[in-house]
Chain A
Amino acid sequence: MPDSPIVKTEGLTKRFGRASRQILAVDDLSIEVRQGDVFGFLGPNGSGKTTTIGMLLGLIRPTSGAIALFGREVSQDLPSLLRRTSAVLENASFYPYLSGRNNIEVFARMMGGVPGRRIDEVLETVGLKKRAGSKAGTYSLGMRQRLAIAVALLNDPELIILDEPTTGLDPSGIIEIRGLIGELGRQGKTIFLSSHLLHEVEQVCSHVAILNKGRVIARGPVDELLHRGRMLRMRVSDVRAAVTLLKDVAWIETIETEEGGGTVFIEVDEERFPDVNEMLVKGGIRVLEMKTSEASLEDFFLETIEGEKGEGAGHV
């Protein structure tokens, strides 16, 4: 099934607890991640990201819904599907009494068929070769995170699931890991990246889904989502007249003004920019400056989450 998604969930739902005190962690989640996507899975703390990853990896049983990896239902043969996958789980954990190298050896033996030189290669890749002999219990959070990434790279996986991979890393470590994710993406690996670092996701991801209170509230290619949030910024001679002229135009979605700045922001498709200009000039309004203001993923995320707060009150 070459065209089937690498990750697909349909109506995935997870409730924790007994009937009287149930918590709905994930609510009717349907997502698709295609081969070669670097998929950003965004959401505030407690939105259900880690629970979803837990269900993808068979660690948490879904209450309802279906999960398919590589086009096959996980209920058919989860272990063999997971052998084509690697995961860096949140708060990477290892055997504290074993050295970093021994820890990697344990997981390499578990996977089978990992040559000894591969262990040195991954240690080199994550910059842990000098401390490989130290006990993992003495590692900082950042070092444990690097060790987890080293383990994830051992078996040359087709799908890599990363749950907050830069937690505990210093700025240079974050840049290194971001570079590594980008490199893996360029190699054609499919990456599922859960993160709350929006700048990081914007830089490396091709697609995103935004999760809030267990539900997907926005999804799509990053460019498309950002385009959706792109505004046309115009400095005009008469702001009030410009707003009056444009407010009833059907193809203009939003009009905003900047207090005292003589600037109007409108949300409109790019091909309509000349029409807007023409309308204003014909209406006797001088257009002093016209340019698009780029929305960042952070702006888009905050706007979407805020919008959801207004609409979604009462959701369990």
Chain B
Amino acid sequence: MFRMIGIEMFKLKKRWMPYIMLLLLLATVFIPLLERYLSEEPQAETLVLRDAMTSTFTAVPGLGIILVAILAASMIGAEYGWGTLRQTLARGTSRNKYLTAKLLTIAIVVPGGVLTVVLVGIIVNIITGTLIEGILDWNGFAGYFFASLGRTWLMLAVYMSMAVFFAMLMRSFATGMAVTVAWYIGESTIIDLLSIGNGWWGEAIRYLIGYNINNLMAMNAAIFFIEAKPWWQSCAILLTYMIVIITGTYYLFHRQDLTAQE
């Protein structure tokens, strides 16, 4: 398994895509900071690091979900398109091992990327905050940081598993990515529409992926709704979705005929 993960890492390392994605994510951290610190009048005399990090923990999952959908769909779907999946399996790699190595590689790379971006965000905030505002307030930072990081990873993991599932089902990078992104955007629209009124659907939407993602995203942004689900309920729902999607992926992958005309 370690050998297969090593191979996946090697293949990923040689591609431009992950580096471009990392740069895009870093841009989401730098741009709000630049806006803030280039403004003529500083916002506060003391920089509260917890508050300063909310923009990072809102922007990273927001854009991150789309980037993760692209990366995960590409890692699975492109192998169908190139025909390398057949070559790999014909060399005696079991389907379980192959899929597990892919999932674990994404599960290592994505949190690694998020952690890098968030740490860069902290460092930049500390430097600019100290330089401009002079005083740095660390109060409440550690709890918020670890909770937000965990929530961000979970949000990305759900869409990662969804992108893997659709790319595998459709045997295509482009279709897998498009369906996942369409799901992400489409579900938000449906939630907005159904949240008007008080029918049974008002309760039903609370079990949709998008609703629970929004809930966790609001916690990252330090916005708390009275009617929102507790964080652990949202996490449990998202974890359930993830387990179902991944189980479905393994099941379908085992049953798939890999013909030459992919």
A: which residues have CB within 8 A of B? 16, 50-51, 54, 57-61, 78-83, 85-87, 89-98, 102, 105-107, 109-112, 148, 151
Contact = CB atoms under 8 A, between A and B. Distances in A.
A144 to B, nearest CB: 10
Interface stretch (B32-40, B57-65, B79-87, B243-251): B79-87
A105 to B, nearest CB: 8
A295 to B, nearest CB: 32
Contacts of B94: 78-79
B87 A107 contact: yes
14 contacts: A57-B90, A59-B259, A60-B257, A60-B258, A78-B92, A93-B82, A93-B86, A94-B82, A95-B14, A97-B15, A107-B87, A109-B6, A111-B91, A151-B87
A109 B6 CA distance: 9
Interface of B: 3-4, 6-7, 10-11, 14-15, 82-84, 86-94, 97, 255, 257-260
Given A16-B257, A91-B83, A98-B14, A80 B92 contact: yes
A110 B6 contact: no
A54 B257 contact: yes
Nearest to A112: B3
Contacts of A82: 90-92
Given A51-B259, A109-B7, A59 B92 contact: no
Contacts of A16: 257
Contact of B87 (A60, A61, A79, A89): A89
A85 B92 contact: yes
A60 B14 CA distance: 30
A93 B14 contact: no
Nearest to B258: A59
A112 B255 CA distance: 27
A110 B88 contact: yes
A92 B11 CA distance: 18
A87 B4 CA distance: 20
Nearest to A80: B92
A89 B82 CA distance: 13
Contact of A54 (B83, B87, B91, B259): B259
Nearest to B16: A97
Nearest to A155: B91
Given A94-B84, A111-B91, 9 more contacts: A50-B259, A54-B86, A60-B259, A85-B92, A87-B90, A91-B260, A98-B14, A105-B10, A110-B3
Contacts of A92: 83, 87
Most buried by B among A59, A85, A112: A59
A105 B258 CA distance: 24
A82 B94 CA distance: 10
Contact of B7 (A79, A86, A110): A110
A95 B3 CA distance: 18
A57 to B, nearest CB: 4
Contacts of A60: 257-259
A94 B87 contact: yes
A152 B84 CA distance: 14
Contact of B260 (A58, A89, A106, A112): A89
Given A79-B93, A89-B90, A110 B4 contact: yes
A137 B194 CA distance: 48
Contacts of A80: 92
Contact of B90 (A59, A98, A105): A59
A87 B90 CA distance: 7
Given A51-B259, A91-B83, A109-B6, A58 B14 contact: no
A110 B2 CA distance: 11
A89 B86 contact: yes
Contacts of A86: 91
A106 B11 contact: yes
B114 to A, nearest CB: 25
Contacts of B257: 16, 54, 59-61
A54 B7 contact: no
A107 to B, nearest CB: 6
Contacts of A110: 3-4, 7, 88, 91, 93
Nearest to B81: A93
B262 to A, nearest CB: 9
A94 B260 CA distance: 14
B260 A96 contact: no
Nearest to A93: B83
B92 A106 contact: no
Contacts of B84: 93-95
